[in-house]
Amino acid sequence: MAADFSDLIRANQEFVENFIPEGLSGRAAKGLAIVTCMDSRIAPLAIVGMKPGDAKILRNAGARVTEDVLRTLVLATHLLGVTRVLVMPHSDCRMASGSEPEIHQAIFEASGVDTRSMEIRTVADQRAALEMDITRVRTYPLLPKGLEVVGGFYDVKTGKLTLI
């Protein structure tokens, strides 16, 4: 069964009709990379008052600093103008709502797929996880010395970003 993507094609046709190239490069104009969750309630650029071209956005379930995030930060810092990193988890996150076995069970109940062979990276204590992730970025040997790294917690109900 193929998914219907006609709504996306129509939306893109409208986008193309009104598209004005902004002459942006692939560099982060404001030197920022934001590591955040894939949650669709989060608009990373708007939260920090930026626009396309200003920052690199790295998203995954739970806003965790994974090996792939570190790989991407190495590229972003050495080649794409990133000089500072904001790690930004959020309130009401599904990855902080249950244990690893509970999330695996929920997936199995929803789809019949056994995901126990993969690490979901649930978070029992979001503050502790954020502090660990900040430390991972700060101490990663392939990232530039002096890279500014901060953590922030985003509240999806109020829009407030609280730096940690």
| Average pLDDT over the chain, rounded to an integer | 96
- CATH topology classification for 26-95+124-163: Beta-carbonic Anhydrase; Chain A (3.40.1050)
Quick one: average pLDDT of 58-68?
98
For the cut 90, the answer to whether the pLDDT of residue 137 exceeds it is yes
Domain ranges within the chain, ordered by starting residue: 26-95+124-163
Global model pTM greater than 0.85 = yes
Cα 121–131–71 angle (5° rounding)? 60
For the cut 90, the answer to whether the pLDDT of residue 1 exceeds it is no
Strand order in the sheet with 148-154: 55-60, 32-37, 84-88, 148-154, 161-163
